[in-house]
Structure 1
Amino acid sequence: MPDDVDVRKRILRAELRERRQVMTSAERRRASEGITARLSELIASTGAESVSCYLSMPNEPDTRPFLEWARARGIRVLLPVTREDGLLDWTVGEEDDETLGLHGVPEAIGELLGPMAINDVDLILVPAAAIDRTGMRLGWGRGYFDKTLGSMEKCPPVYAVVFDSEFVEQVPREVHDQPVNGVVTPTRIIAF
């Protein structure tokens, strides 16, 4: 029988998915421009020379313009590749080739560098369904990023990328959930 936290998470995720579905193309375009600008500001303020990021799903804040911006400036970008065992492999990708990985998530195609490759980045950017005012992250329920972040010996700053309405007062929390150091929205960068 699912516990109360699990039920609350599922309800909140469904609500957030619905909100994302009804966004207009103009709202998505403005959000994409804002996300790219805020992420480039974050890179400038942290001095990060290597980052891990992800290829966004169609309903997520669009990370591709930022990825192009970062690569054009010589910033090394690691992209996740899902594995059957619940861990993430990493790749720098080859050109702009993509495939759909496990669970239908877009993934870069390239040489796999293994789960430990993320230990060499200066900044980690993760997707989220929502982030609360304490830095607690509500993911989409598969646990890949929680497992990765929880297993890192020395973790660099981790920032979640969400739409403005997804920075909320509180999200349901379980023991395995990993907080983030900050959140990036189209209009703000907030460090916790």
Structure 2
Amino acid sequence: MPSTADYEKRALRAELRERRQNLTTTEVEQASQGFLANLQSLVTAMGATSISCYLSTPSEPNTRPFINWALESGIRILFPISREDGLLDWTVGEQGIEKTGLWGMPEAVGELLGPIAINDVDLIIVPACAVDEQGTRLGWGRGYFDKTLGSMERRPPVYAMVFDNEVLPEVPKEPHDQSVSGVVTPHRILDL
């Protein structure tokens, strides 16, 4: 039986998905520039040399300009690969190409490094549809990042990427939900 929080999450995801679909091309392009600048600032301030970052879908904040900058800057990137068992494998995507993975998500093509490969990164960039001011991340409902973050022995800083209006006073939380260290929006970096 789904919990009250589960119903609240579903309703909030639907609302946020619709908001993203209503963004204009100009708003998306301006946001992409802001995300790039703030991600560059975050990585530079942390001195991160190895990070994990996802390949965005068309409805998510665009990670590709940042990924291109990071690769050109010599930063090692691990990309998530969804598995049937709900865990994530990782790859450095050495082939430089993408494919459609499980659940229709874009994934990098490369040698699979296994779930524990993420333990060595300096910074983790995760997708979200909202984050609240306490650091509670609302993902898209499959639980991959919650499982990954919850199983890490030594967890580096984790930042979610959301649009400015997706940082909310509160989002529904369940016991398995993993908090994030901060949020990157087009206009700010928020440490939580």
TM-score of the pair, normalised by structure 1: 0.99
**2-side partners of 1:3 and 1:147: how far apart?**
19
For residues 138 and 3 of structure 2, the distance between their equivalents in structure 1, rounded to whole angstroms, comes to 16
How far apart, CA to CA, are the structure 1 residues paired with 2:96 and 2:112? 16
Q: CA deviation at 1:95?
A: 4.2
1:167 is displaced (CA, Å) by 0.6
Q: Is 1:116 the equivalent of 2:116?
A: yes
1:29-80 per-position Cα deviation (integer Å, ceiling 9, x unaligned): 0011110100000001111000000000101000000000000000000000
Q: Report what 1:28 is aligned to.
A: 28
The number of residues matched between the two structures is: 192
Q: TM-score, normalised by structure 2?
A: 0.99
Distance 1:46 1:190 in 2: 14
Measured against aligned partners, the alpha-carbon deviations of 1:129-150 in whole angstroms (never above 9, x if no partner) come to 1000000000000000000000
1:3 CA drift (Å): 1.9
Equivalent residue, structure 1, for 2:10: 10
CA distance in 2, matches of 1:38, 1:46: 12
Matches within 5 A, 1:1-192: 1-192=1-192
SS at match of 1:71: helix
Q: Secondary structure, in 3 states, of the residue corresponding to 1:90?
A: strand
**Alpha-carbon distance between aligned partners in 1 of 2:161 and 2:5, rounded to the nearest angstrom:** 23
C-alpha deviation, 1:104, in angstroms: 0.5
The two structures, once aligned, show a CA RMSD in angstroms of 0.7
Q: Provide the C-alpha distance between the structure 1 equivalents of 2:58 and 2:141, rounded to a whole number of angstroms.
A: 18
How many Å apart are 1:191 and its aligned residue? 0.6
Q: Structure 2 unaligned segments of length 5 or more: list them.
A: none
2-structure distance, mates of 1:162, 1:181: 14
Query: AA paired with 1:148?
Result: T
Q: Return the offset for 1:96.
A: 3.1
Task: Report the 3-state secondary structure (helix = DSSP H, G, I; strand = E; otherwise coil) of the residue aligned with 2:8.
Answer: helix
Q: Structure 1 runs of 4+ off > 6 angstroms?
A: none
